[in-house]
Amino acid sequence: MNLEGRKIIVNKSSKELTELLKTPENYKDFMPDGLQKFETKDNGFKFGLQGMPEIALKIDEVNDQKAVLKSASSSLDFSLTATINPISENQTEVQMLFEGKFNPFIKMMVEKPLQNFINTLTDKIEAYK
């Protein structure tokens, strides 16, 4: 299952953005309303949203072209990637891409909430100061 967020322009250099995305604590600022739990770990974080199970993510890779978050649970196989494309010295194009391997039943249950989550992350990153 693949999902895409819209492409956005962030008023930060790609270097500023990659530094921001390397730090687990910073992801709290991008979480949707209804966040009930947020805990950081060495290389990742766990969060809980109202009406959803808790999700643990680890920061797998961050470089000047992408930031990759992967599921920290062995029972779920997915990744969330932010593609990073510098436009100018202080503007960067970003797009969220979700890739997951789910059975058809799980896919049917999670597709819409995941797309909403990606859209919210995109909106929050775009509005981030």
Nearest to 67 by CA among 37, 92, 34: 92
Select, from the ranges 15-19, 75-79, 125-129, the one with the highest average predicted confidence (pLDDT): 15-19
* Residue 47 CB neighbours (<10 A): 19
Q: 3-state class of 124 per DSSP?
A: helix
Encode pLDDT of 53-103 as tens digits. 889 999 999 999 999 999 998 888 999 999 999 999 999 999 999 999 999
Q: 3-state class of 40 per DSSP?
A: strand
Q: What CA–CA distance (Å, rounded) separates 82 from 27?
A: 12
Q: 46-52, long-range: CB within 8 Å, 24+ apart, which pairs?
A: 46/72, 49/117, 52/113
Q: What CA–CA distance (Å, rounded) separates 61 from 81?
A: 9
| pTM of the complete model | 0.91
Q: Which domains does the chain have, with CATH numbers?
A: 2-127 (3.30.530.20)
Q: What CA–CA distance (Å, rounded) separates 92 from 34?
A: 28
pLDDT, the chain, mean: 93
Nearest to 8 by CA among 85, 66, 62: 85
- Those residues whose C-beta lies under 8 Å from the C-beta of residue 74, and which sit 6 or more positions away, are none
